[in-house]
Structure 1
Amino acid sequence: MFWDGRIITVTALCQHAAGAAVLYLESGSLEKCDAALNIGVPTIKWRAPVGANYKMNVACRLNAAKDRVGVGIVIRDSNGIVCGAFCTSTVHGGDFFQEHARTILVGLRFALDIGIFRVEVEEGCSDLIGMVQKGSPCLAANGVLVDDICGFIPNFQFIIWLFVVLFFFC
């Protein structure tokens, strides 16, 4: 990945981003942004999860040149404190829906591995959310992935699916 004028691995970038997020949150101060940086993109503000829940934000991005998909997961508590961050890259093996479903599977496994059992999952694929909410068995073409996600749900004390609009900058 080419970032900040140099080649950097996805893992290094995710670790740097997680570290920067923690430093920002721990600083307790907000820096003002230059108004000239506003490029007309609607501002979307992160909302804290309710009560004792945690919020999981997931993202995946295709690098078509290398046939790889970068996956990032951040889990935060109701104060916005990062409780867990995970990143990886995998071989590209499907369409938008499949990549998002696989990312959700990685995120759910990660949440369980670190002891998070009450989670609000923010996802940008409304079709995936709709199919997961309908439950298993899913007879759609990608139904096996939906069934796998549904198989994780009983492991959580609380889980809710929230649709978020994704913005991509190229």
Structure 2
Amino acid sequence: MYHLLISENRDPELFSTVVWFLWNQRNNLRLGKGSIPLDQVLQQARNKLQEFQSAQTRTGAALTRQSSSQWQPPPSSVYKINFDGALFMQEQRAGIGVAIRNENGLIMVSSSQQIPLPGTVVEVEALAARKALELALDCGLDKVILEGDCEILLKTLQTASKSLAQFGKIAEDIRVYSSMFQDISFEFILQCFKI
């Protein structure tokens, strides 16, 4: 299969997708779930890769990049939701934090909690983003900007297709929550700033 995918076509994306697909099928068999015949793996992997690539060209909610080194307040009647995650490796724990501010920069509600250590840093950020939107929905907010420092997550949330990443299920939850807002946008910030 390597010869077919890499040597002849020189398509490392397809190769990676096939390897992921084989691993996924192995896990399905191990868990007693259905799997597809091996002779269909290559075509299924091509389909998944094409679906992923086409989703990368679609636009969803705009992802803007904050260029200022100062926190910027949201427009009037919009709330800015900042979220972040932190790892505490020695304790095998992670922390997630959320702050929701109004147009004057006043914190209207905040939350922080420790959670068991997830598998990846992006998962921690995704859990923080999900908690942020849950909190905003609980407060009855309908126009929000979700702002964080995890570009991978924020770009994933823009796409319409399901993520194959380890944090994909959490991203799906976030998309469902996002659909409950009248208006939502995503902003990427390079780092946490002093406020």
Q: What CA deviation, in whole Å up to 9, does each residue of 1:28-62 have, x standing for no partner? A: xxxxxxxxxxxxxxx82110101210001111111
What's the secondary structure of 2:179's corresponding residue?
A: helix
Q: What CA deviation, in whole Å up to 9, does each residue of 1:102-123 have, x standing for no partner? A: 1101111011111112110111
Larger CA Rg, structure 1 vs 2 = 2
Structure 1 residue 123 and structure 2 residue 162: aligned? no
Unaligned 5+ segments in structure 1 are: 1-42
Structure 1 residue 71 and structure 2 residue 128: aligned? no
Unaligned 5+ segments in structure 2 are: 1-67
Report the CA distance shift for 1:45/1:61 in structure 2 as closer, same or farther (over 3 A): same
C-alpha RMSD of matched pairs (Å): 1.7
The equivalent of 2:47 in structure 1 is: none
The equivalent of 2:81 in structure 1 is: 56
Q: 1:146 aligns with which of 171, 175, 182?
A: 171
The equivalent of 1:87 in structure 2 is: 112
8 Å Cα contact 1:60-1:69 kept in structure 2: yes
The structure carrying a bigger helix percent of its residues is: 2
Q: How many residues align?
A: 126
What's the secondary structure of 1:74's corresponding residue?
A: strand
The runs of at least 4 consecutive aligned structure 1 residues that moved more than 6 Å come to none
Percentage identity across aligned positions?
29
Equivalent position amino acid for 2:76 in 1: G
Structure 1 residue 133 and structure 2 residue 187: aligned? no
Report the CA distance shift for 1:131/1:62 in structure 2 as closer, same or farther (over 3 A): same
Report the CA distance shift for 1:134/1:149 in structure 2 as closer, same or farther (over 3 A): same
Q: Matches of 2:94 and 2:167 in 1, distance apart?
A: 18
Q: What CA deviation, in whole Å up to 9, does each residue of 1:39-87 have, x standing for no partner? A: xxxx821101012100011111111111111111110000111111111
